[in-house]
């Protein structure tokens, strides 16, 4: 979806403000929010792609004017409802009224193994990649109503395949509960001057799945 999260190339947000000696969390609630998202995510039955899609589903004006962990709160509240873990009324009142879906929460001593486990989003498929490093490709004019990882600023542009990473879980399917549907993933190199028409000598790279690309 062309939501407010897809902000590459937008102007007017002002300078990047870096904080000296920035703490990991600025408020206690941010730390709790971070931990809640991680802990409930372990048992909630949703995927990382659904998680991202849920955070993007905020009304764009609200998304832009709220802070990072507020996006997480909004996403978690949405996921709890869509996955039947809590009702809108329970979230509004914060009083449990319905029986909870039986789950086994992650125990404190299971956290470290869980967060440091070497996972992978690469999946085996029978097929062969359509493109090879060095191939010229064009990104498609896609404007799906659902979650996608092809940013708007890169659509309809020519680039070059830099690397193929095998088949990876495809967010456009996985975010909608349609399964992992693995597709070949490439790093594609674009010339900044092609993207922006500004003559800049720089290069932009993005990791893009095969359905986002066509031969040119």
Partner 1 sequence: MNGPHDMGGFTGFGPVLHEADEPVWHDDWEPRAFALVLAMGMTGSWNIDEARHARERLPALQYWRSSYYEMRHYALVLQLIELGLVSAMEDEQGRMAVPPKPVKRVARAEMIPAILASGGPADRPSNRPQGFAIGERVRARTMNPRGHTRLPRYARGKTGEVVAVHGTHVFPDSNAHGGGEDPHWLYTVRFTGAELWGKDSRDAVCIDLWEPYLEKAP
Partner 2 sequence: MAHDGHHHDHEEGSELSPIALRVKALESLLVEKGYVDPRALDVLIDTYETKIGPRNGARVVAKAWTDPAFADWLKRDATAAIASLGYTGRQGEHMVALFNTPDTHNMVVCTLCSCYPWPVLGLPPVWYKSMPYRSRAVIEPREVLKEFGVDLPDAKQVQVWDSTAELRYLVIPERPAGTDGWSEEQLAEIVTRNAMIGTGLVTA
Q: What are phi and psi of 162, to 5 degrees?
A: -100, -35
Q: Which of 144, 4, 151 is nearest to 70 (CA)?
A: 4
Q: Tell me if 140 contacts partner 1 by CB under 8 A.
A: yes
Q: What are phi and psi of 46, to 5 degrees?
A: -110, 165
Rounded-to-10 torsion of CA 73, 76, 78, 83: -170
Q: Tell me if 108 contacts partner 2 by CB under 8 A.
A: yes
Q: Tell me if 199 contacts partner 2 by CB under 8 A.
A: no
Give the Cβ contact number of residue 54 at 10 Å. Answer: 24
| Tokens found for residue 128 | 């062969």
Q: Tell me if 61 contacts partner 2 by CB under 8 A.
A: no
Partner residues linked to 163 by β-bridges: 187
Q: Tell me if 13 contacts partner 1 by CB under 8 A.
A: yes
Q: Which is nearer to partner 2, 96 or 216 (CB)?
A: 96
Q: Which of 11, 124, 126, 134 binds partner 2 (CB under 8 A)?
A: 11
Q: Tell me if 65 contacts partner 1 by CB under 8 A.
A: yes
CB of 76 to partner 1, least distance (A): 18
Rounded CA gap, 186 and 209, in Å? Answer: 6
Q: Which is nearer to partner 1, 123 or 157 (CB)?
A: 157
Q: Tell me if 141 contacts partner 1 by CB under 8 A.
A: yes
CB of 99 to partner 1, least distance (A): 32
Q: 13 and 63 in contact (C-beta within 8 Å)?
A: no
CB of 54 to partner 1, least distance (A): 12
Q: Tell me if 120 contacts partner 2 by CB under 8 A.
A: yes
Q: 52 and 121 in contact (C-beta within 8 Å)?
A: no
Looking only at residues 175 through 214 of this chain, which bind partner 1 when binding is defined by CB under 8 A? 194-198
Residues that bind partner 1 (CB under 8 A): 1-4, 9-14, 56-61, 63-65, 140-143, 145, 152, 155-157, 194-198
């Amino acid at each position: 979806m062309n939501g407010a999260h897809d902000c590459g190339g937008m102007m007017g947000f002002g300078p990047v403000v870096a904080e000296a000696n920035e703490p990991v969390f600025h408020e206690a609630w941010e730390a709790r929010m971070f931990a809640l998202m991680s802990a409930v995510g372990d048992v909630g039955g949703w995927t990382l792609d659904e998680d991202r899609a849920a955070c993007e589903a905020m009304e764009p004006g609200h998304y832009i004017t709220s802070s990072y962990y507020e996006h997480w709160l909004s996403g978690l509240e949405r996921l709890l409802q869509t996955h039947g873990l809590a009702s809108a009324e329970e979230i509004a009142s914060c009083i449990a009224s319905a029986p909870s879906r039986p789950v086994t929460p992650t125990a404190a001593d299971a956290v470290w193994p869980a967060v440091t486990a070497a996972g992978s989003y690469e999946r085996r498929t029978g097929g062969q990649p359509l493109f090879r490093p060095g191939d010229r490709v064009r990104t498609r004019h896609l404007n799906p109503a659902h979650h996608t990882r092809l940013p708007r600023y890169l659509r309809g542009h020519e680039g070059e395949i830099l690397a193929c990473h095998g088949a990876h879980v495809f967010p456009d399917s996985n975010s909608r509960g349609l399964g992992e549907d693995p597709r070949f993933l490439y790093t594609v190199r674009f010339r900044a001057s092609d993207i922006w028409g500004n003559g800049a000598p720089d290069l932009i790279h993005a990791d893009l799945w095969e359905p986002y690309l066509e031969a040119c």
